[in-house]
Structures are given as structure tokens and as C-alpha cells.
Chains A and B, each alone.
Chain A
Amino acid sequence: MTLDISILIASVLASSPPILFAVLGETITEKAGVINLSLDGSMLLTALVGFVVALHTGSVLLGFCGAMAVGALIAWMIAFVSITLHQPQVATGFVLTLLSRDLAYVLGNPYAHVPGPQVSHTPIPGLFDLPIVGPILFDQNPVVYLSLLAIFLVWVYVDKTRPGLNLQGLGERPAAAFVRGVNVTVMRYVYTLVGGALVGLGGASFSLMVKPGWARPYGIEGTGWIALAIVIFGGWQPIRAGLGAYFFVALQTAASLLQSVMPNIPTQLFSTLPFPLMILTLLLVTLGNAEWTNRVLNHLPEGMRRFLIRTLKALRTVPPASLGAIFRKE
């Protein structure tokens, strides 16, 4: 079997926008101190909305807008119930996960296997025939270009601008941000909505690009949970989270390649392979926080201990200090 490595990388880039946008959106939301747990349901519902709007209006762009609006609406519900009404955030997110999933299945029933529009392939003239980088970066569609740009833009905004620093303050020390004159409640709403809209963008890029159309089961189920885990793996850093998303899609691609090499093994097994990996990677990034690891490491020989401590430290991630906590002005 011969494989062109650049085609392989290109296909990873082409199938990663759904999870990538969701990861970036959730990173922004959680940076502001809010957990939007609903990703697995809201990606499904926004995927349906994106497809249906595009089908009826004939405009893929309107499809994306509709999906982003619905993603923001679900996020608004979480913000309203948790920030304004002080109800448990995780409970609200969990209920909305199931509710949006079931709504998508019920409302999507008439649209199953209906052919519809999709994002058109748009090679960039003059660049797409370059060797190696051409097929990878410039022979894609606008959504893929946007997804690559989005990682960079979110990183610059969060880490390099003043509003971005204020955003980090919302999740780390909301009381301090409040004293500096930041309206914590309003800004948390804003970033939850922005994050939700990005999740919607992810959902629509699945139904209008990766797997055009609608069906039950649709093939995006479980992706939302993976995205939430990648946010943790990414340590709430846009670049690291983006790389995590690519790493995950690369694993999926590798699994489907393995499947064609080993036809005796049931296909369903390969599709669940990412989940044990998800637990393992989470274990790797959180082990450094557990107190017993240091105790055990102390018994190891000096060289090995230093290496392990360094590795765990490099992998270790720490959530925003006020993640999920309700802020009250006293």
C-alpha cells in the first residue's frame, strides 16, 4: 500500500474543522470561567440546523449563520440559568446535551438522507500547485482556511491583546477583574455566546463539508465529549488545544487506515478506539497534580525521577481558578 504523506495531512486538515472550532469555542468559554457542557448535543443540533437552513435557502453561508445562531442560543441558556439564575452549571449543560441531541433526532427525521448543498472546493490560484505545502494548505475549501486562521486569531486575541487579558481575568480572578471595572456578568455572557457560536460553526462544518447531509446516527456523536476533553488536554491554551484537535483527527484517520489493513476486526471497535486514548491522555495531563505521584517518584533513581518530573510538568495543565464557580458582587 502506498500513501502520499501530503495527501494524508491534507485529509486530516480537511476533516478537523468541526472538532477544531468546537475546541476553540469551548476554550474561550472556559477561559471566561463558564463550562458549556452541552457540546455533544449542541454540535448535533447545529449540524442539523446548518444543513436545513442551507437546503431551504440554497445558501451555504446562511446555513453557517443559522448554526452559529443556534449554538449561541444554547450557550445563552446555559449562561442565563447558571449566571443569572444561579442554578448548577454542569446540570444545565448535561440536560441541554440530551435535549439538543433528541431535538436534532426528532426535527431531523424528515431530512434523513436528503441530498443538499455543501461547501465548494476552492484551491487558491498560484499556490495550490506548489510541492508539498500546495495540496496541504492551499488546495482546500474556505472553511479549512478559516479553521487554520482561527487558531492563530484566537491565540493572538487571548494572549496578546488587552481584552484577551481581561478575558483571562474573568476565569482566574473575577473579583479582581470586577474591581478593575470589568463587568464580569456581561462579559461572561459575551464569551459564552461567542464560544457557543464557534461550536455551531463546528457543527455546520460537519453537515456542510465533512459529511454533507443528515442521518441517524449521524457520525458526529461523541465528538462533543472529545472536544471537551481536548480543552483540558490543551491546558486552555488555543495553540495547544488546536494541536490536540489535529492530533485526535490524525488518530481517527490512522484508525480508519488500520481498519482497511485489518479487515477481520469489527469496524465498530476502531470507532471507539479514541475513547480509551482520551482517558489515557487526560490521565497524563492530570497525574502531575495528584499528590501521590510525587511520593512514588521520590523512590525512583535520580536520573529517571528528574526525567519523569519534567515530563509530567510539561504535560500538566491547570484549569482557570474560578472555572464553574458563580460570581456574586458583594
Chain B
Amino acid sequence: MNPLEAKALNNWESHPSFVVRVFAILLALVFSAFVLLILGTSPLDAFALILSGAFGSLAKLAYVMTAWAPVLLCSAGLLVTFAAGVWNIGIEGQIIMGAVFATGLLQLLQDSLSPAAILVLAAFAGFMGGALWGMLAGALKLYGNVNEIFGGLGLNFIAGSLTVYLVLGPWKRPGIGSTSGTQPFPPSLWLPAFNGFQVSPIEVLLGLVAMALVTLALRGTHFGLKLRAIGKNLRAAFLKGIPLNQYMLLAFGLCGGLAGLAGWVLVVGTSARHNLFPLISSGYGFLAILVVLLTNLSALWSVPISFFFAVISMGSLQLALQRQLDSSLGGVIQGMLVLLVLVAKGFQSRILSRRER
């Protein structure tokens, strides 16, 4: 492996100041408004619709929170791989494999155990599915020298076609199989939700706990210390005798496992369709990459920012329905935000380094 590789990808030392962040956010809003004007939609009207689409009622807020949970889980996982200095772009495929393994276990045990036991076992299966897929990307990188970006991407597409195969083949609905997915599970196998506030405390808590545990592991354990040493300087870590391959594989496995749990949430969660269908990962993994980039690998900031991104995603879905726009508008706003924060960060460190001279 090329030691320069990890170093070149990591430049997280500089943190943008509060003013710079606010400026970048305002600029992102201006650019998004410009895009809306091109489309002939009033930006103020659109932003208001996004907000009311996310906060307009308790049901809508609950919907946002069900999108927040998988993003939280994936962001927590990505903090681990980014700490080790690797890009886990295969996270989408790891979510899918989590969903596949969870669905498989649910189908297998559906009528044999108590629903609670089945759900817990399915969560384990989801974790394992994601972890295996993550470690496969890691093994391709470590033992085959395949850059993790391409290995991961290829594995994403393979996981996607596997779901298509399962949904149309062995796991097709009774009668005729269609790409709308497998036969939905009965309500006894859904995560329990509040009455009138359709979100399960389990999915959100799971995300928050994962985030807290990852923070603790990275900050307060030998494992985290060594992992961050690898991310900072691969060669130095190697010379110090840290077993690189094991640690890297473990990082990929952990991240994949958490993404797999997100896949489980997407099958059994409150707003889920309660089955396996193609594209079940819904871009949540890539969204989490944006979250972690935006927060400069800060676990603390990743919690509110991932909520904010869930608001934008769900709100723009509502906007798209009401104004005949494409739902990708949320992605445009999120992408602009991350890009402009990168730009702002760059400007800030440039100005600072000039002053020092």
C-alpha cells in the first residue's frame, strides 16, 4: 500500500471558525435560491415548503427522525474509517447487505420465535452482513491493492444487483415477482412506535448510542489511539509495530456493521416498507459521507448536522410532490453546503498562513 495515499486524503487539521461556517451556509442558500429561480420557483416559497414539509406536523417530524436514524448510524461508522484514513465509499452496499441479511433471517425465523427475539437476531444478522461486505472492501484494498474507492463502488453495484436478483428470483412475492420488493413482514415484526408520533425510540436511540460508543472508542481506548495513528501517518504507525492489516480490517468491519444496522432499520423501522427492495439504501450512506465531511470528523457536530440533513432530504421530498420539482433538490442544497464549507475552510487557512508570514 502506498503510504502517501492516506496522507494525501487527510487534511482535517484546520477547523473553520463559526463566522466562516455561517457565511458558507448563507452562500449555499443563495446558490440554491438561484437554481430555484432558474426553474421558475420562488425560493422563499420553496424554503418555506421544505421547512413545513419537515416540521409541519408531528407526523412529518417523526418521518424526519426515521430518516435521521440510518444517517446517524452510518456517520458513526464513517468516523471510524475516516479516522483510519480510508474512504469507505462502499457504505451504500454495506447498508444493502445489512438489509439483505436481516430480511433473510426474518424470513427464516418468521414463525418460530417470539417477535422481539427475531428482531434482535435480525439486527445481529444485519450487522454481520454489513461487516462482511465492509471487510471485503478492506481485504480487496489490503491484500489485492485495489483502491478502496473502486473496490467499494464495485461492491455497491454488486450488492444492488444481488437485491434485484433476490427480489425477482428466490425471494419473490407469491405469484409474480416485481421490483417493488419482497412480501412485506407482518406488523408484529415492525419496531414499536409511539401512537400518533410514528417513530420508534429504538431506531433513534440506536443511532445516538452508536455515535457515543464510537466517540468513546476513538478517544478513550488503545484501539482508537492506534487507529488514529494509522490515519495520521501510515508509515510511522507501521514502524511502531501496529498491525496495520488487522486494524484496517476491523475499521472496515465496524463501519460496515453499523451501516448494516442501518439496513436493518430500513427493513423493520417505523417508516420502512417492511420488506427488501432494490435501492433500499436510498443514498443514506453517501449522505452520511457528506455529513462527516461537513463536520470535519466531529462526532459531536455530526449529531445535529445529520438531523439537519434529514430535514432537508425529507422536506424537499414534500416540496417535490407539491411543486412538480425533482426530489434531488435536497441533494443540491446539501452538496452546495459541503462544497462551500470546504472552500471557506481553504480561504480561512490561506489567510491565516499569510498573516503568519
A88 adjacent to B11 (CB under 8 Å): yes
Which B residues from 302 to 348 make CB contacts under 8 A with A? Answer: 324-326, 328-332, 334-336, 338-339, 342-343, 345-347
* A207 CB to nearest B CB, Å: 17
* B162 CB to nearest A CB, Å: 9
CB-based closest 9 A-B pairs: A85-B346, A99-B335, A102-B331, A272-B161, A275-B157, A286-B145, A102-B328, A105-B328, A279-B154
B146 adjacent to A283 (CB under 8 Å): yes
Q: Answer whether residue B357 sits at the interface, using C-beta atoms and an 8 A cutoff.
A: no
B140 adjacent to A81 (CB under 8 Å): no
Residues of A within 8 A of B145 (CB): 286-287, 289-290
**Bound-complex Cα distance A283 to B155 (A):** 13
**Bound-complex Cα distance A103 to B293 (A):** 20
Given contacts A109-B325, A229-B150, contact A90 B158 (CB under 8 A): no
* B177 CB to nearest A CB, Å: 9
Given contacts A229-B150, A269-B161, contact A292 B8 (CB under 8 A): no
- The chain B residue sitting closest to A100, CB to CB, is B335
A225 adjacent to B153 (CB under 8 Å): yes
B326 adjacent to A85 (CB under 8 Å): no
Residues of A within 8 A of B179 (CB): 268
Q: Answer whether residue A107 sits at the interface, using C-beta atoms and an 8 A cutoff.
A: yes
- The chain A residue sitting closest to B342, CB to CB, is A87
**Could you list 20 further interchain pairs (A-B, Cβ under 8 angstroms) beyond the known A88-B8, A222-B157?**
A85-B343, A85-B345, A86-B346, A86-B350, A87-B342, A89-B8, A95-B293, A103-B328, A106-B35, A107-B35, A232-B147, A232-B150, A266-B168, A266-B169, A269-B161, A275-B154, A279-B146, A279-B150, A324-B5, A326-B8
A266 adjacent to B336 (CB under 8 Å): no
Chain A, residues 57-87, CB within 8 Å of chain B (1/0): the string is: 0000000000000000000010001001111
Q: Answer whether residue B243 sits at the interface, using C-beta atoms and an 8 A cutoff.
A: no
Chain A, residues 82-126, CB within 8 Å of chain B (1/0): the string is: 001111111110111011011101111110000000000000000
Name A's B-contacting residues (CB within 8 A): 37, 77, 81, 84-92, 94-96, 98-99, 101-103, 105-110, 216, 222, 225, 228-229, 232, 266, 268-269, 271-273, 275-276, 278-279, 282-283, 286-287, 289-290, 292, 324-326
A-B contact pairs, 14 of them (CB 8 A): A81-B343, A81-B346, A85-B346, A86-B349, A91-B9, A102-B328, A102-B329, A102-B335, A103-B328, A103-B335, A225-B153, A268-B179, A272-B158, A290-B144
* A112 CB to nearest B CB, Å: 9
Residues of B within 8 A of A77 (CB): 339
A87 adjacent to B325 (CB under 8 Å): no
**Bound-complex Cα distance A229 to B153 (A):** 10
Name B's A-contacting residues (CB within 8 A): 4-5, 8-11, 35, 38-39, 87, 89, 140, 143-147, 149-151, 153-155, 157-158, 160-161, 164-165, 168-169, 179, 278, 286, 289-290, 293, 324-326, 328-332, 334-336, 338-339, 342-343, 345-347, 349-350
A102 adjacent to B332 (CB under 8 Å): yes
Given contacts A95-B335, A109-B325, contact A87 B150 (CB under 8 A): no
**Bound-complex Cα distance A282 to B149 (A):** 12
Residues of B within 8 A of A286 (CB): 144-147
**Bound-complex Cα distance A99 to B347 (A):** 21
**Bound-complex Cα distance A50 to B5 (A):** 35
A325 adjacent to B157 (CB under 8 Å): no
Residues of A within 8 A of B329 (CB): 102, 106
A106, A271, A276, A283: the one within 8 Å of B144 (CB): A283
* A154 CB to nearest B CB, Å: 22
A92, A110, A279: the one within 8 Å of B342 (CB): A92
A98 adjacent to B293 (CB under 8 Å): no
B336 adjacent to A99 (CB under 8 Å): yes
A88 adjacent to B39 (CB under 8 Å): no
A96 adjacent to B9 (CB under 8 Å): no
* B323 CB to nearest A CB, Å: 11
A272 adjacent to B160 (CB under 8 Å): yes
**Bound-complex Cα distance A279 to B144 (A):** 10
* B269 CB to nearest A CB, Å: 24
Given contacts A272-B158, A282-B146, contact A99 B8 (CB under 8 A): no
A102, A269, A287: the one within 8 Å of B164 (CB): A269
**Bound-complex Cα distance A147 to B334 (A):** 36
